[in-house]
Amino acid sequence: MGRELPVLGAGGAPGHPSAPGLPSIAMAGALDGPDGATAPGAGDTLRVRRHPDWLKATMPAGEAVRDLRHLLRGLNLNTVCEEARCPNLGECWDQRTATVMILGDVCTRACGFCAIKTGRPAWFDPDEPRRVAEAVAAMGLDHVVITSVARDDLPDGGASIFADTIRELRGRCPGMGVEVLIPDFNGQAAPLRAVMEAGPDILNHNVETVERLQQPVRRRARYDRSLGVLAQAKADARELGHEVHTKSSIMVGLGEEREELLTTFRDLRAVDCDILTLGQYLRPTIDHLPLVRYYHPDEFADLRSAALAMGFRHVESGPLVRSSYHARDQVPGAELRALRRRATIGSDGRVEPGASV
């Protein structure tokens, strides 16, 4: 059953209107209290309120957004950008980047933070990898992220569709960076191996939160299992002779302590995780976990510095950062590709015909 998002008007906090000419998304998700935290004794009533000034996202609009939505709809494809109500949809789609979600839009798990529908999936289409590759080729991307709902109903958790999608993308878009954001496949080695044999550039699996909060946040997942997925991905890649960068993401604002976050960083580095993303948890609906507090941008900067000091190759840290945010800029060679993009983008914002980015 889907969960409905409370409808709020656009704009900033009372007394802090949005910048002229720049619409924003007012994202619901917290009970009234200090800094948007859950107020003691407030009960479980979701009140209309505004986020801090630093939490502003542009509304999804413009020609690029319309083109991308039309293309994806025409090929019957889903994006996690829409299904998870990502606050960065407007920015990313305007840059003609998106995270494609395979294996349908119904998840077999009901994580306490996630807005994606849960239930018994009926979707399975072996032709989906071809259609994904067709869409990505039409978008002219130089880096793509493929993710999925959890499909515990399938014997391999959907790993074969991940692998086929990677191969189709390699065939249609040689040289393009391919990132996959995978579920844990219930800790099974064979499905993960199948994905690694297809040769992704980045293998992304999220721990989401600190070890103490795993049960309420990810009811059917385990902290040690997620660390094991990241460790095994690196081991498989070495055995297969593939270079792969592993990546994970953490939400803050669920009641974790700073030292717990630092311990999680160390645990990720202990399994040689290369890339870390940190973002603010925003409660999608009253049915989801309450927000405990907002982190200030200065705190995100501090956490980024701490993580980089531990040896992560790249850390993306900020209030609106999500797992796939700025993904194309997180891999080796990204700066060179960015220069090529700037050299081949026309005045109308489109890639020049015949250009290779």
Write down the pLDDT at residue 304.
Answer: 97
Write down the pLDDT at residue 103.
Answer: 87
Segment 181-192 shows an average pLDDT of: 95
pLDDT higher than threshold 70 for residue 138: yes
Q: pLDDT confidence of 22, banded at 50, 70, 90?
A: very low
pLDDT higher than threshold 80 for residue 189: yes
Contact 229, 184 (CB under 8 A): yes
Taking the whole predicted model, whether its pTM rises above 0.85 is answered as no
Q: How far is CA 136 from CA 197, 254, 355, in A?
A: 21, 35, 16
Greater confidence, 123 or 343? 123
Contact 296, 255 (CB under 8 A): no
pLDDT higher than threshold 70 for residue 119: yes
Greater confidence, 94 or 121? 121
Greater confidence, 244 or 82? 244
Provide, rounded to the nearest whole percent, the portion of the chain with pLDDT above 90: 42
Q: Which residue has the tokens 């948890």?
A: 281
Segment 298-307 shows an average pLDDT of: 98
User: pLDDT for 246-274, tens place per residue?
Assistant: 999 999 999 999 999 999 999 999 999 99
Write down the pLDDT at residue 315.
Answer: 94
Alpha-carbon gap, residue 351 to 47, rounded angstroms: 45
Write down the pLDDT at residue 238.
Answer: 96
Mean pLDDT of the chain: 75
User: pLDDT for 309-327, tens place per residue?
Assistant: 999 999 999 998 877 666 6
Alpha-carbon gap, residue 352 to 357, rounded angstroms: 10
Q: How far is CA 134 from CA 61, 70, 71, 265, 273, in A?
A: 24, 14, 10, 37, 31
Q: Best-predicted range by mean pLDDT among 69-83, 121-135, 171-185, 231-245? A: 231-245
What's the chain's Rg over C-alpha atoms? 20
Alpha-carbon gap, residue 115 to 271, rounded angstroms: 29
Contact 172, 132 (CB under 8 A): no
Segment 25-48 shows an average pLDDT of: 42
* DSSP state at residue 173: S
